[in-house]
Chain A
Amino acid sequence: MPKQKLSPLPAAAFQIMMSLADQDLHGYEIMRRVEEQTDGRTRLGPGTLYSSIQTLLEAGFIAEVSNDNASDERRRYYRLTASGRKASREEAERLAGVVRLARSKKLLKGEYV
């Protein structure tokens, strides 16, 4: 089995980028936001979370931003970059295409994507 199959990174990375779409967040906030946006199905552990963050940083999809909160200086905040936003949009559109196809094949009900 290829190593890529073992990795949850693509899903985790996409969820992290979705969580950063409208706000800069630190690690714990990202974890909570991902949990909320997946209706509790996905809780990122520290290893998965920061592995994904590291990869996204290296890909230039997110960036670390300065933390102006003096009382909170232990934390690092992350922001979605322009290329990250573009990649997220493309991925969302691709997934929407998959859902449209599923509807056309009568695998899903409902009119809209």
Chain B
Amino acid sequence: MFERLLAFLFCLYPLEFRRAYGREAWQLIQDRLRVERSVPMRVRLLLDLVRDLLAMSVRGWHPNPALITAGDVRDGTPRFQMIEVQPRRPEWYVAGMLSSVLMFASFTLLFQPENFPNAPAQLGEGDGSGRDSDAPFDPNSPQQQPVIVDPAAERRKIIEEVAANLRDRYVDRAIGQQLSNALLAQEKNRDFESVHTGPELAERLTNRIHEMSRALGVPAGAYVADVLYSEMILPEGPPPAMTLTPEAREQARIAAQRQNCYFQTIEMLPNDIGYLKLIGFPNFDACEDMTRKAMQTVNNASALIIDLRGNRGGYGETALQIAGYLFDRPTFLWDPRPHTIVPAETASPVASNKLADKPVYVLTSSTTGSAAEYFVYNLKMLKRATIVGERTAGNQHSGAFRRITDHIGMGIQEESPAANPFPIKGWETIGVEPDVNVSRDEALETAKKLAASRAR
């Protein structure tokens, strides 16, 4: 109900705004809904949205005030306008609260949710024809109004399809059967009846699969399956290959080279500490030389800090290449993907490399994911690095993808990954726990102190 109210408010934003940023803005609201669950937080969310809506109705979409004016240019350097920050006054809260209560009551009385089937991401959306897949998100557009025949039937069909995939495709058939049976039983018990949107259903199903698989003895960190919602219509046909097409690799290569192969910083800090900040692991073919030069730049360091905060992954081959400098012999790194093209061992020792016996500190944040977690996980399991920062995202990305509807799909571990010799069997959902748990903003200073104290 609350989400539908937000969806209705969202529909009141200017059409041009929703065309330009509708998907992202609705995703932002969904993110807040997921995190802000208590009643006060929900009220705050509603107030924020009402206030934002009112501000936009006064200001209009994208008023485009010049950030730079002629009078603001000094020595060729652009400046901002004077910033006015006023403390919020108590009466503003009261006015906002009253107007929100009035609006809430009005909407509840005047509009029934059933009258707004065009709220974003409703179940039943799409008819499988794939039309309008490239059109911007626009809940008011007649062409994009979802065709809801029977949302409950649509929800049931998705759950049955997820259950069938678990039963028929999950690598451990016995566990897959139990997961399937449990999901169907929950559906029968109407456990999903309160779910009205695609993203909500995907999240609920994913959480249930994770909870039940842990209860059935699947080790923490091992990937089983997850259900995903996509705003874009999912492609039909067989699941995509685990490796990129030559065209996609070429695009990634060009993109990586344009951005310095994602090496944002390569420098020597005081106390002979080498510092590398990588915002992604770039295409190996394009960036092998650049990566080698980066490692040579810090080769004489007495300690090395590798900053992976915000690094959402990329190419495992490049992660393996960097790891090769940290060992003096070929070393196994566990890759969760059954048909990975990443070699199983590092190419250690690397000629002229002096880093194999130096202390290493890897910085992490809650957005460190995928290939970056592959790097962090293996260095932690091998006790080769001290992990400083936040628990990582927990995105193992090791399953095959199966399409269920236009907007719902699922990843599922259909084949066994390589045998995992480590005590923690992966990082799916649990992420990688840092050795030194500090916020992302404190991680670098903490690692510098650790490296300096060890050097002394």
Closest to B315 in A: A68
A55 to chain B, nearest CB (A): 6
Query: How far is A6 from B369 in the complex, measured between Cα atoms in Å?
Result: 40
Q: In the assembled complex, which residues on chain A have CB atoms less than 8 Å from the CB atom of B232?
A: 73-74
B311 to chain A, nearest CB (A): 9
Q: How large is the interface on B (under 10, 10 to 19, 20 to 34, 35 or more residues)?
A: 35 or more
A57-68 interface mask toward B, CB cutoff 8 Å, 1 = contact, 0 = none?
011010001111
Q: Contacts A10-B80, A11-B84, A68-B313 hold; do A61 and B67 have CB atoms under 8 A apart?
A: yes
* Cβ-defined contact, B49 with A9, below 8 A: no
Q: Say which residue of A4, A68, A87 sits within 8 Å of B77 (CB atoms).
A: A87
* Cβ-defined contact, B55 with A48, below 8 A: yes
Q: In the assembled complex, which residues on chain B have CB atoms less than 8 Å from the CB atom of A48?
A: 52, 55-56
Q: In the assembled complex, which residues on chain A have CB atoms less than 8 Å from the CB atom of B84?
A: 5, 10-11
Q: Say which residue of B27, B65, B259 sits within 8 Å of A7 (CB atoms).
A: B65
* Cβ-defined contact, B28 with A31, below 8 A: yes
* Cβ-defined contact, A45 with B62, below 8 A: no
A1-37 interface mask toward B, CB cutoff 8 Å, 1 = contact, 0 = none?
0011111111101100000001111111101000000
Please report the number of residue pairs spanning A and B whose Cβ atoms sit closer than 8 angstroms: 159
Q: Say which residue of A55, A65, A71, A73 sits within 8 Å of B397 (CB atoms).
A: A71
Query: How far is A66 from B280 in the complex, measured between Cα atoms in Å?
Result: 10
SS class of chain A's interface: helix, strand, loop or mixed?
Answer: helix
Q: In the assembled complex, which residues on chain A have CB atoms less than 8 Å from the CB atom of B62?
A: 51, 54-55
* Cβ-defined contact, B48 with A23, below 8 A: no
Query: How far is A43 from B309 in the complex, measured between Cα atoms in Å?
Result: 23
**Segment among B18-26, B215-223, B267-275, B414-422 that sits at the interface with chain A:** B18-26
List residues of A whose CB falls within 8 A of some B CB. Answer: 3-11, 13-14, 22-29, 31, 41, 43-51, 53-56, 58-59, 61, 65-76, 83, 86-87, 90-91, 94-95
List 12 additional contacts besides A53-B21, A74-B231, A87-B79; criterion CB under 8 Å.
A11-B84, A11-B85, A14-B80, A47-B53, A54-B62, A69-B312, A69-B395, A73-B230, A73-B232, A75-B27, A86-B78, A91-B83
